[in-house]
């Protein structure tokens, strides 16, 4: 366990107390188990290459969390820090005892308005009915429970993980032993959603990992810091939010007959930097909208079989060349412009713009 009661009955968190102080109290038998009130001692620490924690002398506690893994202890500390950074006004309690028989929340978050959230870090296997019972008990006590799973269970196909997924439509795995701690945010995606991503998302989630019978498993891997817990007990993640936004825009773009500059710009904002959007992609779409057939009519200077290049078109092409030249001077070499092609979504009438840019580059 990570929390014991000190000489005055105050909760002592192992990692947050000077080691010497802990050793003195431990030697004087002044540290007590918060659950059975029996004497506990300090174990581990940096010199022992083991997570600093408290343990009973002979494991005589009915509540014992002894034998809990280093991964689990480390995870609780890492998650408590993560929650404190996000909710500076709230109280974050480790190993908090709950009303009801033999239950301890790994972490309890008490907001200033009184509402409570629990975060459980599950590294060991768990029976489905055990999870259902604990989840129901939290909800009955009006505590919003969020379950984070040890990365040691990433590839395990377990009923309780599927149950969490069907309830929340997402799951987070955590490896607290890495610095910084790493997370896997996974959620089920439909075939239709996956297809939309494939039509124009620059950094789509990995499509691996088990989500039971719910669909494709989409996963973002990254630092714990990037992930936030909402007051509803769900997760928010900037990359996933951007993905959802571009996905929604892609759907809109698929179902129009004429490209729309505002939607195109909003979509690009989720995919590319502002300079590229303002200097290259928006002017490109404007030029295309003014005369979508210009490059086809010009046909690399050959014109159409029944229609030679007109002087007016010749002039337009000269202006396009001048524009490319100007862009090159501002750092947009033809290579860099070519790298813009995949930024154009393969959705609805926008898809033609990729070909338009390619033909334009052939002029340079």
Q: How many CB atoms lie within 10 A of CB 308?
A: 10
User: At closest approach, how far in Å is the CB of 119 from Zn ion?
Assistant: 22
The nearest distance, CB 63 to Zn ion, in angstroms, is 5
Q: Point out the residue whose Cβ comes nearest to Zn ion.
A: 61
Minimum distance between the CB of residue 183 and Zn ion, rounded to whole angstroms? 32
Closest approach, Cβ 42 to Zn ion, in A, equals 15
| Given 36, 154, 263, 354, the residue binding Zn ion (CB under 5 A) | 36
List the structure tokens of 38.
């029996």
Q: How many C-beta atoms surround the C-beta of residue 133 within 10 A?
A: 12
Q: Shortest Cβ distance from residue 1 to Zn ion (Å)?
A: 8
Distance in Å, CB of 74 to Zn ion, minimum: 21
Closer of 97 and 226 to Zn ion (Cβ): 97
Residue 61 binds Zn ion (CB under 5 A): yes
The residue range among 27-35, 128-136, 250-258, 322-330 that interacts with Zn ion, by the rule CB under 5 A, is 27-35
Instruction: List 175's β-bridge partners, or say none.
Output: 182
| 92 CB-contact burial (10 Å; exposed 0-12 / middle 13-18 / buried 19+) | buried
Q: How far is the CB of 22 from Zn ion (least distance, A)?
A: 17
For residues 171 and 202, the answer to whether their CB atoms sit within 8 Å is: no
Q: Is 247 in the site for Zn ion (CB under 5 A)?
A: no
The per-residue DSSP string of 54-119 comes to: EEESSS--TT--TT--HHHHHHHHHHHHHHHHH-TTSEEEEEEE-SSTT-EEEEEEE-TTS-EEEE
Give Cα separations from 160 to 68, 297, 343 (angstroms).
Answer: 20, 62, 40
Angstrom CA distances, 49 to 45, 52, 70, 82, 181, stand at: 6, 9, 11, 23, 18
Q: Tell me, by CB under 5 A, how many residues bind Zn ion.
A: 5
Region binding Zn ion by CB under 5 A among candidate stretches 34-42, 76-84, 124-132, 343-351: 34-42
Q: Do residues 144 and 232 touch, judged by C-beta distance below 8 A? A: yes
Farthest-apart Cα atoms in the chain, separation: 101
Out of 1, 3, 12, 33, name the contact with Zn ion by CB under 5 A.
Answer: 33
- Neighbour-count burial of 242, counting CB atoms closer than 10 A to its CB (0-12 exposed, 13-18 middle, 19+ buried): middle
- Cβ proximity to Zn ion: between 36 and 346 the closer is 36
Minimal distance in Å, beta carbon 31 to Zn ion? 11
Q: Which stretch binds Zn ion (CB under 5 A): 31-39, 101-109, 248-256, 350-358?
A: 31-39
Residue pair 338/276 in contact by the 8 Å Cβ criterion:
no
State which of residues 5, 35, 196, 243 lies at the interface with Zn ion (CB under 5 A). Answer: 35
Residues 196-215 that bind Zn ion (CB under 5 A): none
**Is residue 65 a contact point for Zn ion (CB under 5 A)?**
no
Stretch that binds Zn ion, among 24-32, 59-67, 162-170, 196-204 (CB under 5 A): 59-67
- Measured between alpha carbons, how far is 351 from 362 in angstroms, rounded to an integer? 18
The DSSP-derived string for 20-40 is HHHHHHHHTT--B-TTT--BE
Comparing CB distances to Zn ion, the nearer of 97 and 251 is: 97
Q: Which is nearer to Zn ion, 61 or 174 (CB)?
A: 61
CB of 38 vs Zn ion, minimal distance in Å: 5
Task: Give the footprint of Zn ion on this chain (CB under 5 A).
Answer: 33, 35-36, 38, 61
């Amino acid at each position: 366990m990570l929390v014991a009661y000190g000489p005055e009955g105050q909760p002592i968190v192992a990692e947050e107390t000077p080691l010497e102080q802990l050793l003195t109290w431990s030697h004087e038998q002044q540290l007590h188990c918060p659950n059975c009130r029996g004497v506990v001692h300090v174990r581990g620490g940096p010199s022992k290459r083991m997570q600093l924690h408290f343990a009973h002398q002979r494991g005589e506690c009915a509540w014992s969390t002894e034998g809990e893994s280093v991964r689990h202890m480390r995870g609780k500390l890492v998650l408590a820090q993560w929650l404190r950074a996000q909710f500076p006004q709230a109280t974050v309690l480790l190993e908090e005892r709950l009303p009801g028989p033999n239950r301890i929340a790994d972490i309890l978050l008490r907001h200033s308005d009184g509402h409570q959230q629990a975060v459980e870090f599950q590294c060991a296997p768990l029976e489905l009915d055990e999870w259902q019972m604990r989840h129901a008990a939290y909800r009955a006590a009006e505590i919003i429970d969020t379950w984070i799973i040890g990365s040691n269970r990433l590839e395990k196909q377990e009923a309780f993980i599927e149950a969490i997924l069907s309830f929340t439509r997402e799951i987070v795995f955590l490896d607290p032993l890495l610095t910084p701690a790493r997370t896997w945010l996974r959620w089920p995606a439909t075939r239709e959603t996956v297809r939309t991503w494939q039509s124009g998302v620059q950094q789509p989630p990995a499509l691996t990992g088990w989500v039971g019978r719910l669909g494709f498993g989409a996963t973002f891997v990254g630092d714990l810091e990037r992930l936030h817990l909402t007051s509803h007990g769900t997760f928010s993640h900037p990359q996933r939010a951007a993905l959802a936004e571009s996905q929604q825009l892609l759907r809109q773009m698929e179902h129009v007959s004429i490209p729309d500059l505002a939607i195109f710009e909003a979509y690009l904002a989720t995919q590319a930097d502002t300079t590229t959007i303002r200097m290259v992609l928006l002017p490109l779409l404007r030029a295309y909208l003014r005369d979508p057939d210009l490059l086809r009519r010009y046909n690399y200077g050959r014109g159409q079989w029944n229609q030679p290049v007109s002087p007016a078109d010749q002039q337009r092409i000269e202006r396009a060349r001048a524009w490319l030249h100007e862009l090159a001077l501002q750092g947009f070499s033809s290579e860099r412009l070519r790298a813009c092609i995949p930024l154009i979504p393969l959705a609805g009438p926008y898809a033609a713009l990729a070909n338009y840019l390619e033909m334009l580059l052939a002029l340079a």
